[in-house]
Amino acid sequence: MENRTVLDRKDTTERVAGRKPLLHVEHLEIGCIGTGTTVRAETGSGAGRKLEANEGTIRNSGRQPLLRDVSFSLYPGEIVALTGPSGCGKSLTAHAIAGMLEPGIGVTQGHIYYNGEDIVPFHERRWQRLRREDIALLIQQSLSGLNPIRTVRTQLTDTLRLHGRHHLPHEQKEPGQADAAPSHAVPRQAVLQGALPWMRRMISRATKLAGGRATQPQEAYLHALLRKVGFADPERILSSYPFELSGGMCQRVLLAAMLSSGPRLFIADEPTTALDVINRDKVLALLQQLREDFDLTILLISHDRQGMSRVADRVLEMSPEGRMHE
């Protein structure tokens, strides 16, 4: 295990040698900004700081930023883990990189360079384009992003039409040629009993006008994409509604939806939370494989330093004060 770690670090050094970082965060500070109504929130366990507004100006009542002096780089093709105790600011950092901080909270100092360009000053339209084409963020509450009354096929097809993608990166297979299902493929669920089949029929009738079926190239793309994220029976998944799938399966569907845009940087915030050891290892192995298949750079956010260190090229640890060290 120790020898493999040494080899992995050597491979990483060779991979990034002489290359510019895809993402560079420089002395990042996050705090309360702007004007508005009273905002109240806690920064996390142990901190207990509240945000509140006086005389129309939103500020931190503790006179301290929520996060300060965070600096690190990600190089193309790396998997980097960002770890630290709950409430230290890991998720804040991820949301800042994706331009998804809550209203009243923003970058007060520092820079976030993506592909050499400082993205902190971006207006919302440019942030939307960046998230649509380059940066994907899988957050802990992502499962709420699936519409419960639309099939997986309809939702993924809508995503394809939005992004205009029709093939997998580096995909050279003939149409209809199936990928081999990975060893961590999700087993077929038992047939639903009771009221669920009736509910499915009623929802299907109510949503027939929501859109047509995918075109043949889109259908082939979706099958290949779902196999890439571990489904052995893509057709069954595409025909299912979210309430017919487990939470882990819905997470894989969302992962497929995010990968369909062809991002270069993928950020996963606590992707293994509430999973047992076996499923946690499967998810991490899947992310390693997806890095190769989709030429991804991956930032993993987790408090599980030991688990992340097994798959990450580098591990960055954030202190409760928001400072970082490698």
Assess whether pLDDT exceeds 50 at residue 28.
yes
> Measured on CA atoms in the order 107, 113, 115, 121, is the torsion positive or negative?
positive
The tokens of 140 are what? 């802990």
* Residues in contact with 53: Cβ distance below 8 Å, sequence separation at least 6, in sequence order: 35, 36, 37, 38, 39, 59
pLDDT bucket at 15, cuts 50 / 70 / 90? low
What gap in Å lies between CA 82 and CA 21, rounded to an integer?
16
Within 10 A of 324 (CB to CB), how many other CB atoms are there? 23
Assess whether pLDDT exceeds 80 at residue 151.
yes
* Domains of the chain and CATH, by start: 2-134+265-325 (3.40.50.300), 148-259 (no CATH)
Assess whether pLDDT exceeds 90 at residue 86.
no
Assess whether pLDDT exceeds 90 at residue 116.
yes
Mean pLDDT for 277-283 is: 79
DSSP string, 186-223: BPPPPPP-TTHHHHHHHHHHHTGGG--PPPHHHHHHHH
Assess whether pLDDT exceeds 80 at residue 59.
no
Mean pLDDT for 280-286 is: 85
Please, are residues 49 and 61 in contact by the beta-carbon 8 Å criterion?
yes
pLDDT bucket at 119, cuts 50 / 70 / 90? very high
How buried is 247 (Cβ within 10 angstroms: 0-12 exposed, 13-18 middle, 19+ buried)? exposed
What gap in Å lies between CA 131 and CA 136, rounded to an integer?
6
Measuring CA to CA, which residue among 258, 311, 283 is closest to residue 135? 258
What gap in Å lies between CA 148 and CA 57, rounded to an integer?
40
Q: What pLDDT score does 63 carry?
A: 52
- For the stretch 157-213, pLDDT in tens is 988 887 655 455 544 343 344 443 333 333 333 333 444 454 444 444 444 444 546
pLDDT bucket at 24, cuts 50 / 70 / 90? very high
Between the CA of residue 93 and those of 138, 224, 238, 284, what are the distances in Å?
13, 32, 34, 21
- For the stretch 213-250, pLDDT in tens is 668 888 899 999 999 999 999 999 999 999 999 877 88
The tokens of 186 are what? 């999700």
How buried is 281 (Cβ within 10 angstroms: 0-12 exposed, 13-18 middle, 19+ buried)? middle
What gap in Å lies between CA 264 and CA 18, rounded to an integer?
19
Mean pLDDT of the chain: 75
What gap in Å lies between CA 244 and CA 31, rounded to an integer?
41
